[in-house]
Structure 1
Amino acid sequence: MLDTLHSAASFIVAIGVLVAFHEFGHFWVARRFGIKVLKFSIGFGKPLWSRRGKDGVEYVLAMIPLGGYVKLLDEREADVVIAPEDLPRAFNRQPVAKRIAVFAAGPAFNFILAIAFYWVLYMVGVPGMKPVIGAPPAGSLAATAGLVGGDRIVALDDQKIPTWSVLRAELLDRALSRGDTAFLVAHANGREQTVNIDLGKARVDPVLLFEDLGLNPFEPPIPAVVGQVVAGEAADRAGLKIGDRIVDIDGKPVASFQDLRSQVSARPGQLAKFGIERAGSAQQISVIIGTDTSHGEAIGRVGLAPQRMATEGDLWQDLRAEVRLGPLAAASAALHQTWQVSALTVRLLYRMVVGDVSVKNVSGPIQIAQAAGYSASAGIGAFLTFVALVSVSIGVFNLLPIPMLDGGQILFGVIEAVKGSPLSERVQAAGQQLGMTLLLMLMGLAFYNDVTSVIG
């Protein structure tokens, strides 16, 4: 319950900031052009708070925190009474360039906000993990190229790779280009080697790309000593206890807790004999491995967690990394990061349309709220990174040439500028209906993905 409330609160804070900044972009540019603003609303539905400022603008905080809007003086609105002296300030009477600028300002402010957050993060220091890989599965592209567990990815095509987050973004970017990539790899003995991997052989879906590559973060071996037994799970039913050391499964040695997890995952629903050490004596316990299907395929699980150790933090110390830059370098990195995320979002949307990327990657408010909660729990840096990422996504989404969105209105404005007159009201109304239909379909897909993730 507390986790749910924490996620909801984090989501409301994040969306509130992003919506406010987006709508402030429309508001600020409209005011700079002398256009009269009637209402500035954060949220939809019933107003929770409302105040009319000295400037005549009604400021509103509404019940549903999933968006907002800025209402401008417009003669086309049937319910608006316009004084003759205000006619020059009506939005519909503005030159097309000004109207386009007002629509573009919202997404532009989302990009500006992302740049600002990334700039602060790079100056304070972005923590991460060094791109040291675990043992690639046999048959994966990394294993075929000769990479082994403990190798560190130093660079891709001369682009330095300091952390796993940078590696993921750069590999996804290159995978979308479907070409050979030169991996500069540092082996555990210090020797460096360059290997080429054809990313065209990997699926570009973000969920599947690293599976095809066989790249996963290296985990320091954790002793296979039971620290927690989940009540009602397979291990509990079989009689495993805290303090038991798992030695083997059906005679196959268990070298670490990660090895235990790997062996169990591959055997859903099977009967296995766990060789254990308990209080200095060897025993064998029969376990019927449980089955987890929440990830779309059957995976074995028994309900065990490892014993926490006083030195556990030290196991990861050598793998930690931090990217910290001066103000100018941080500004450059922030611009690059915002551009890269924007470009990746557009390319992934296109790949989703043509079927290369699963529509399961479309997230709704529930999954976004969960991500907001996780990032907030991880610290202010992780939360700001999350907000910056969502801010870029909102900016890109609103620039899509779909009527009802800023991008659709910009498209109408461009067509008007080219042809010298506005589109007919009938064409604009048909476009609005099409845009509404597309948005409802997209919202339905997002909510469907949310529901299936919750059920899973």
Structure 2
Amino acid sequence: MTTLLAFLLTLGVLIVVHEYGHYRVALACGVKVLRFSVGFGRVLWRRTNAQGVEFTLSALPLGGYVRMLDSREGPVPPSWREQAFDQRPLRQRVAIVAAGPLANLALAVVLYAASAAWGVMAPKAVLSAPTAGSLAAQAGLQSGDWVQAWAAGEAEWQDVRAMPDLRWAVSQAVLNGQALRLRVSDSQGRHAHELRLATDTLAHQELDAATWARIGVGAPFSPAVMGALKPEGPAAQAGLREGDVVLSVDGRAVPDAATLREWVRSAPERVQRWHIERGAQRLELSVTPRRVEERDRVLGRIDAAVGQAPETVWVSESWPQALWQGVTRTGDMIGLSLRMFGRMLIGEASLKQLSGPLTIADAAGHSARQGVGDYLAFLALVSVSLGVLNLLPVPLLDGGHLVCYLFEGVSGRPVSEAWLLRLQRGGAALLLLMMSIALSNDVARLLGLP
């Protein structure tokens, strides 16, 4: 229920803001608005205001529209002709069309600022052991290291308050082809030193799971303590109990829960010697992970939770700082979205990056359960994506209309009706293809397919 409500609220807010941008600027330009609709298809609710604008809520809530008086769509009374959209000056038509996406981008600034001011509870930037051979391991990062600041290239140092700050810094460094300097100490803040993460060697690569594995900055630190166990699982059968601290496996010291989980996954049906601490006792147990096939891989499972919740910190900003962060984060996300679309266009990024309504709904529910600050940040992210998507030069989208107006401004004449029809058909086919790919990606994610 939380997922459904969060998804519907997400759609409602973003659609209303987008269409309200068109609506308010149309009224300001003297254009007569006939209908403001949230959703498509059968009308479920309607109301008409004193100006004759019909506000409707329709059955399919995956979009909306503002219908304006337009002489191209039917006869217009002479007294209303100046109020028709197509009769307004070019600059006003541009403003009306651009207002929707720009409203989404402005909303993102407000939402990011509100999220930063409200605050979020996030894992402290204390790291688990990096993957062997990864950039983090080559840089000298170790289990329990606390990353306190970062700098890209020769830029100034910026504080790392929590893991999201660090992951954002790493992702930006990869996308910009820059090395990342890290200021690191132990978990108690002692022995501070500086390391260099060679993210410049991954310049412009797609930030998928494989790339993150090569980087090696993974889960936050969590001690190797056993959590809940399934009664008939391998862990319970081996004699493990909740609260047991795992000291070593086959003679290798266990630095953290993430490492222990990886050793379990890599040993299906192989007997392991676990040394554990249970209160004042130290015991040796034989544990045999069961075999599981997952996504064409053979993995080990012990049917038990491994690790505790990582240490968390509350991260919030004053309103002036939050507003500035809203502006900068929105700008960064616009750049990131444009680069990603561009890379997908030229084949440097996978089309699997496209997400549809199922993935958005799942993310909406997850962020809502995390808290208000997380949900506001999620809304901001989707609002940026919606704004950028609508500004792409694709017929039927706002960006496609703006390209037509650019042609009109340069040539002095509008695009012909015949060409408009061809472009709209091509745009409809392209949008249908994008929606199909996004939906198939959603289904693949839900089914756990590669």
- What is the TM-score of this pair, normalised by structure 1? 0.87
Instruction: Give 2:87's aligned residue.
Output: 93
Matches within 5 A, 1:77-92: 77=73, 80-92=74-86
What is the match of residue 402 of structure 1? 394
Is the counterpart of residue 447 in structure 1 residue 439 in structure 2?
A: yes
Deviations 1:345-365 (A, max 9, x none): 111121222333222221111
Aligned residues: 438
* Code of the aligned partner of 1:215: V
Aligned to 2:311: 316
Q: What one-letter code is carried by the residue in structure 2 that aligns with 1:121?
A: S
Does the 8 A contact of 1:338 with 1:392 survive in 2? yes
Distance 1:425 1:298 in 2: 59
Q: Following TM superposition, by how much is the alpha carbon of 1:203 offset from its aligned partner in structure 2, in angstroms?
A: 6.4
Pairs within 5 Å for 1:183-262: 183-187=182-186, 189-195=190-196, 197-201=198-202, 204-207=205-208, 208-223=210-225, 225=226, 227-230=227-230, 235=235, 249=249, 252=252, 254=254, 257-262=257-262
3-state SS in 2 of match to 1:412: helix
Change beyond 3 A, Cα 1:261–1:56: same
Alignment of 1:378-393 (within 5 A): 378-393=370-385
Alignment CA distance shift 1:141-1:252 (3 Å):
closer
Match of 2:353 among 358, 361, 365: 361
Matched residue type, 2:311: W
CA drift at 1:121 = 2.6
Q: Amino acid of the residue matched to residue 303 of structure 1?
A: D
Between the aligned partners of 1:211 and 1:61, the Cα distance in structure 2 is 45
Q: What residue in structure 2 maps to residue 137 of structure 1?
A: 131
Q: Is 1:172–1:204's contact at 8 Å kept on the other side of the alignment?
A: no
Task: Tell me the equivalent position of 1:177.
Answer: 176
Q: 1:299 to 1:87 in 2, by over 3 A?
A: farther
Change (3 A) 1:292 1:166: farther
**In structure 2, how many angstroms separate the alpha carbons of the residues matched to 1:393 and 1:375?**
17
- The CA deviation at 1:99 is 0.9
Give the 3 Å change call, closer, same or farther, for CA 98–230 of structure 1 in structure 2. farther
Contact 2:179 2:196 in 1 (8 A): no
Structure 2 equivalent of residue 164 of structure 1:
163
Q: Distance in 1 between matches of 2:360 and 2:300?
A: 28
Distance (whole Å) between structure 1 residues aligned to residue 214 and residue 69 of structure 2: 54
1:406 Cα shift? 0.3
- Partner in structure 1 of residue 22 of structure 2: 26
1:60 correspondence with 2:52? no
Q: What is the deviation of 1:275?
A: 4.3
Task: For residue 337 of structure 1, report the CA deviation from its aligned partner.
Answer: 1.0
Q: Structure 2: state its 5+ residue gaps.
A: none
Match of residue 11 from structure 2: 15
Tell me, what secondary structure is at the counterpart of 1:206?
A: coil
Structure 2 vs 1, CA of residues 244 and 196 (structure 1 numbering), >3 Å: closer, same or farther? Answer: closer
CA distance in 2, matches of 1:232, 1:20: 52
Match for 2:315: what amino acid? Answer: E
Q: Which amino acid aligns with 1:101?
A: A
Matched-pair contact (CA < 8 Å) for 1:234–1:290: no
One-letter amino acid of the structure 1 residue matched with residue 44 of structure 2: L
> Structure 1 residues 26 and 190, CA, compared in 2 at 3 Å: closer, same or farther?
same
Identity %: 34
Deviation at 1:331, TM superposition (A): 2.0
After TM superposition, the structure 1 stretch with the greater mean CA deviation from structure 2, 272-281 or 379-388, is: 272-281
Counting only pairs closer than 5 Å after superposition, residues 259-408 of structure 1 correspond to structure 2 as 259-267=259-267, 269-273=268-272, 275=274, 284-285=285-286, 287-291=288-292, 293=294, 297-306=297-306, 316-317=311-312, 320-327=313-320, 329-408=321-400
How far residue 302 of structure 1 moved from its aligned partner, in angstroms, is 2.5
The answer as to whether partners of 1:228 and 1:307 remain within 8 angstroms in 2 is: no
CA RMSD after TM alignment: 2.7
Q: 1:148 aligns with which of 117, 142, 147?
A: 142
Contact 2:3 2:362 in 1 (8 A): yes
Alpha-carbon distance between aligned partners in 1 of 2:445 and 2:359, rounded to the nearest angstrom: 8
Contact persistence 2:395–2:426 (CA under 8 A): yes
Provide the rounded CA distance (Å) in 1 between the counterparts of 2:344 and 2:252. Answer: 42
Aligned pair in 2 of structure 1 residues 204, 323: CA closer, same or farther (>3 Å)?
A: farther
Single out whichever of 299-308 and 442-451 deviates more from structure 2.
Answer: 299-308
Offset, 1:254: 4.8
Contact 1:39/1:70 (CA < 8 Å) preserved in 2? yes
Equivalent in 115, 120, 130 of residue 114 of structure 2: 120
Question: What's the counterpart of residue 71 of structure 1?
Answer: 67
**CA spacing shift, 1:239–1:49, aligned 2, 3 Å:** farther
Contact 1:210-1:216 within 8 A present in 2 as well: yes
Q: Structure 2: how far apart are the matches of 1:232 and 1:36?
A: 70
Q: Helix, strand or coil: the match of 2:198?
A: strand
For residues 331 and 63 of structure 1, what CA distance do their matches in structure 2 show? 36
Once the two structures are TM-superposed, the CA of residue 344 in structure 1 deviates from its matched residue by: 0.8
How many angstroms apart in 2 are the aligned matches of 1:29 and 1:237? 68
